[in-house]
Structure 1
Amino acid sequence: MSTEAKKQAQQTRVDDTLIAAYLEENPDFFDRHPELLQQLSVRHQTKGAVSLVERQQQVLRQRVQHLEEEITELMVTARRNEELFRYFSELYLKLLQSQSIEEVMDSLQQTFSEQLQMPALTLKFFDSPLELETQFTFAADTHKQLLSKRFRDDSIYLGRLTTDEQKLLFPDESIASVVLLLLGDKGELGMLAIGNHDAGHFEPAMDTLLVKQLQVLLSQILPPLLKHHEAR
């Protein structure tokens, strides 16, 4: 491109910028010059040349449609959050009324498996001296590597597991993502594991408010139930 052509292109860009700035500063320009609206046209990708007014209407319609879609998404999310809150509230009441570890497990299964369509749930206790059913205990020290790897900075883990970790927690299910909750004041009591077939269902960036509340509640109600189980 010649020097003259470059200067002309630069001047065109400057002129366009000045015009745009002037129109922004003078929004009543077309009110003072309505005849220009009938003369101006805007290129449209599919319709060719259209009037400025028609183009403005098209842009407004697109904005309205986009806002309607956003509102619909927000309403769907709000209904889903309301449903989740109701399920968890009902679960909390059931857990507070539980008289045994088996009842706790039944309530958890009903909420997560039946209502929330979570295909797998495991409740395990650490170093328990009780002769609990096998489903509630880890074999030897098989869980310690999992603890050191997944709970370095927090008592809640959301995300994926290795194949060995999946087999340890869910030997009968092919689980792609999990939420793991350590139970007890310092995570010394045990672990609740909830699994889903969808690899993106549980992710580290997810909000943990409801599962934290569940974690605190279980950490309070399980120790007395364990003592009651030992006394039987």
Structure 2
Amino acid sequence: MSNEAKQQQAQQLIVDDTLIAAYLEENPDFFERHPALLQQLSLRHPSKGAVSLVERQQTVLRQRVQQLEEEITDLMVTARRNEELFRYFSELYVKLLQSRSLEEVMDSLQETFSTQLQMPALTLKFFDSPLELEAQFTFAADTHKQLLSKRFREDSIYLGRLTNDELKLLFPDETIASVVLLLLGEQGELGMLAIGNHDASHFEPAMDTLLVKQLQVLLSQILPPLLKHHEAV
């Protein structure tokens, strides 16, 4: 058989297969009207050899059911995790509203992120503050402006990775691979909350930011009065 004839035959087979598949899709009761064909048809199975069409359908259905069960399990795990996160953040909001000092704010943040959520590093820094704050709250203007220019061009929240130099500014004593950064204040002028994780894939740009945005808004409201109180003391 010539190459041209082989090509024509292959093309004809493709057309025939397409027509047969389309016909069976349009007539799902075909084998009900021709039950004898089910006994004659067989399909190749990778491990079992030739099996009947009914057996193959049953295998496919079992595999599909197993896949659906696994997907449902994953959804349930995700739902439980989301419920847990919501509860932790809700409890944190109450504690922050009850805080009477910057130290209490930090204690509440540390308890939630370090203890409950296993986030190993957390830093709260203030920009250009005239107050004589403790070292843990200070952030030199030249360093934070450099960080801001790179990470906050489009949003007041950044999720992802930082350079080694940037990480040293925020977490000098921890080996951090991914971070979430929150600018605080109406225009991001007040300061920054930084949360770090050892896992490089834990914080990613595509993550949902609903909970951290709520935390950002709350901190932006409660911190200015606490800073004034700190100055008065």
- In the other structure, the counterpart of 2:222 is 221
Determine whether 1:35 maps to 2:36: yes
Query: What residue in structure 2 maps to residue 197 of structure 1?
Result: 198
Distance 1:150 1:140 in 2: 15
The alignment partner of 1:117 has SS state of coil
Query: 2:210 is aligned with what amino acid?
Result: L
What does 1:154-165 align with in structure 2 at a 5 Å threshold?
A: 154-165=155-166
Q: Which residue of 2 aligns with 1:57?
A: 58
Aligned equivalents of 1:168, 1:145: Cα separation in 2 = 11
Q: Which residue of 2 aligns with 1:168?
A: 169
User: 1:152 & 1:13 partners in 2: Cα distance?
Assistant: 54
Secondary structure of residue in 2 paired with 1:158: strand
Unaligned runs of 5+ residues in structure 1 are none
Question: Does structure 1 conserve the Cα–Cα contact (< 8 Å) formed by 2:184 and 2:220?
Answer: yes
Map of 1:68 onto structure 2: 69
Paired residues for 1:1-232 under 5 Å: 2-232=3-233
Q: Counterpart of 1:220 in structure 2: which amino acid?
A: Q
1:42-101 deviation line (CA, Å, top 9, x unaligned) = 111111100000000000000000000100100000000000000000000000000001
SS in 2 for 1:30: helix
Q: Structure 1 residues 224, 37: CA separation in 2 closer, same or farther (over 3 Å shift)?
A: same
Secondary structure, counterpart of 2:93 in structure 1: helix
For residues 138 and 12 of structure 1, what CA distance do their matches in structure 2 show?
72
Paired with 2:133 and 2:150, the residues of 1 have a C-alpha distance of 26
Which amino acid in the other structure matches residue 197 of structure 1?
A: H
Q: How many residues align?
A: 232
- Mapped partners of 2:174, 2:48: distance in 1: 55
Deviation for aligned residue 1:20: 1.1
Opposite residue 176 of structure 2, the aligned amino acid is I
TM-score, structure 1 as length reference: 0.98
Give how far 1:17 is off: 1.2
Deviation at 1:6, TM superposition (A): 1.4
Secondary structure at 1:72 match in 2: helix
Query: Distance in 2 between the 1:134 and 1:181 partners?
Result: 20
Give structure 2 stretches of 5+ with no counterpart: none
Aligned residue identity for 2:102: I
Find runs of 4+ consecutive structure 1 residues off by over 2 angstroms: none
Listed one character per residue, the Cα deviations across residues 183-224 of structure 1 (whole Å, up to 9, x for unaligned) are 000000000000000000000110000000000000000000
TM-score normalized by the length of structure 2 = 0.98
Distance 1:224-1:29 versus aligned 2 partners, 3 A rule = same
8 Å Cα contact 2:183/2:191 also seen in 1: yes
Q: CA deviation at 1:12?
A: 1.2
SS in 2 for 1:141: helix
> Over the residues paired in the alignment, what is the CA RMSD in angstroms?
0.8
